[in-house]
Structure 1
């Protein structure tokens, strides 16, 4: 498994500290008198101290890479794989112990007690191996934790994608139902306008289906889609529907696809619309939010609400934006605030 930069840096610093800590007592050789013999059963000099420290540093680096980069400690591979890794560590330990003790004895030729010399070497390398083993264990646990977090994030993303597809799948049938209801009324009143209505309706569906893979869409494109829907409604209501849009065409601002369409549908669906009492809709930005506000003149015999529109929109905002929409209702106006995040 490939080591990341942070792991390499931690291994390097740990190896330096271990090598220095297990050989620092050799600095007594620089002290005058009897103090220089503390912990020094044989003659010991600065070059030998440097050699021994560097060898122990290399020892720590080697076993760090052996266990973190070359051996796979994945517990799912079974006991045989575990035994193989342990044997590999044991073999390399024995080889490096023999190389280290033999080379130092050969180069400096100052060992008077071979047994004590070998025991000292064995103790230092075993201690080094134990400390590196602790480091390896910590790194492996950290890898496992990161892998679990990545898996959880992938599962979360997959769940959200499935949820979004399910929610978006509800939009088109909901919109089609309302569009056909409007078309039915328009056919009886003005067949020629009904033909124009069908033309605009096909444009809306072409736009909607052409962006079905996008979860978030630019505000400019969303306003273009809204304008197409407004044209459809104006064929039916004419001057009884007044829509005023005051939104700067800022690039980079996105929102869930088809966020404004259900708000427009609900405003028309639940209010009495006539030339005497026109339905006024204002769309504008305020304090980092897009406000959709319509006058409130609830129809006496309004269509029954399915509850799909606002609930669907709020769920999509929670999943994609991490924020909920806000709804305000007064005696005169109904306002929906949509958070905008660049």
Structure 2
């Protein structure tokens, strides 16, 4: 018999290292041709941080995205950005890049205000152009850089950001371990075969508060990937150790989800802006994984009426749990 069930998982997750300093630095150089070079120690392992930092730099300086070059994770030339872990790089390195870009653009804004004879606070830079309030002035960023260079002024900036945290009191555990938190709720739909013990996850709806979604497509990809990882944790992945030796070290024996296992995932982006984040952004990397296994486990409980406490919920464990529940009921 196949039974359908629904489950919910909700989480909150601290962004960055717990109650400890974890700063990041960045350098920004706006060149003569109007392009921007960003130096950051942030290592992009496929999560898309290089694109995000380029977007932040482009938005802050006021140039097109294609005019930004990121030099990253080169210990010979880039400043320290800390580890690409704890879902911290968009929040922390993003702030460092923003601050460095703000510093680098200051001479451009000042020169534009001087040329236009207007207050500097009314000047903004957008898509390579100089704006006066809500209209274009007809001047370009490149032209202002040329004027700065003619006076011997460079357009360089450096910045660093360290989240505001407080170490935990060892006596009562009180403190401020994180400067900001991510929040999420996921709902899973499953079908459980009571004869074979197989669990099929048919649908996951995942709503995540990410602050400002700087790159919505990237956020959706992170959520979908996190759900796939969470499914593996819930149903497939298990390290088997005997006498200190891993007995399933190969991909043929340590099972991970394939494209055939991943269900429909419906990512929902919640933008509750974080005032201390770059343009309101937080992080989404690890939070996308956290609620998935709980939602799937609760859905299985809803389908079977019994709780399975050991992960992964393999067919053998499901059948054993069903059998045990029947025996307890008969007693």
Tell me the TM-score normalized by structure 1: 0.20
Structure-2-length-normalised TM-score = 0.21
Higher Rg of the two aligned structures: 1
Query: Could you say which structure has the higher helix fraction?
Result: 1
Q: More relative contact order in 1 or in 2 (CA 8 Å, sep 6+)?
A: 2
